[in-house]
Amino acid sequence: MTRRLLTLLVSAFLMAGALSCSRPESKLPMASEAAVGDAAVTLTDFHARPSPPGASVGAIFGTLLSGGGDTLIAVSVPATVAGRAEIHRMVQNAAGQMEMHAVPWLALPEDAPVELAPGGMHVMLFDLVGPLVAGEKLTLTLLFRTGGERVLEVPVRED
């Protein structure tokens, strides 16, 4: 199993992603995040860290907030970016080292922000096709049990 320490910083960049909803009965999200209904998960601060030369993995961070509670059930990026994406959490092993573990889903409690941040939860990219370069963007697709599919343009940035 791949182990990697991720010592990365949280950025304050606000990412207003494309809003979409696959369920016809759901409220259509509004452009303003303040007006987004319970059915939509608010996604802020999503960004990827630049990857060192030769690195085969990368990480994406950000904050998710569901007004009515939801579950993140899948993450993906285009095959032109990476071979696969997984939801990861960090846990301390018996030796006191931090290990990453893939989780099949991520619960979003009602009105409680869930932060994907260095040292904690993150979206992990494996088999990078090329390095993640600061200033570039990648497309991240998030699939929610209630809110449906959301597609974000995620900037690559140092912090």
Stretch in the footprint of Cu ion (CB under 5 A) among 10-18, 33-41, 84-92, 107-115: 84-92
What is the DSSP secondary-structure string of 14-57?
A: ----B---S-TTSPPPPSSGGG--TTSEEEEEEEEPPPPTT---
Q: Does 150 bind Cu ion (CB under 5 A)?
A: no
Q: Does 82 bind Cu ion (CB under 5 A)?
A: no
Q: Does 100 bind Cu ion (CB under 5 A)?
A: yes
Q: Determine phi and psi for 41, rounding to 5 degrees.
A: -90, 130
Question: Would residue 32 be called left, alpha or beta, if left means φ above 0 and alpha means ψ between -120 and 50 degrees?
Answer: beta
Q: Please report how close the Cβ of residue 146 comes to Cu ion at its closest, in angstroms.
A: 25
Residue 75 or 100 having the CB closest to Cu ion: 100
116-to-23, 30, 46, 89, 129 alpha-carbon distances in Å: 26, 24, 9, 9, 23
Q: Does 88 bind Cu ion (CB under 5 A)?
A: yes
Q: Please report how close the Cβ of residue 153 comes to Cu ion at its closest, in angstroms.
A: 22
Task: Provide the mask over 105-134, with x wherever binding to Cu ion is found by CB under 5 A and - wherever it is not.
Answer: -------------------x----------
Binding residues (CB under 5 A) for Cu ion: these are 88, 100, 124
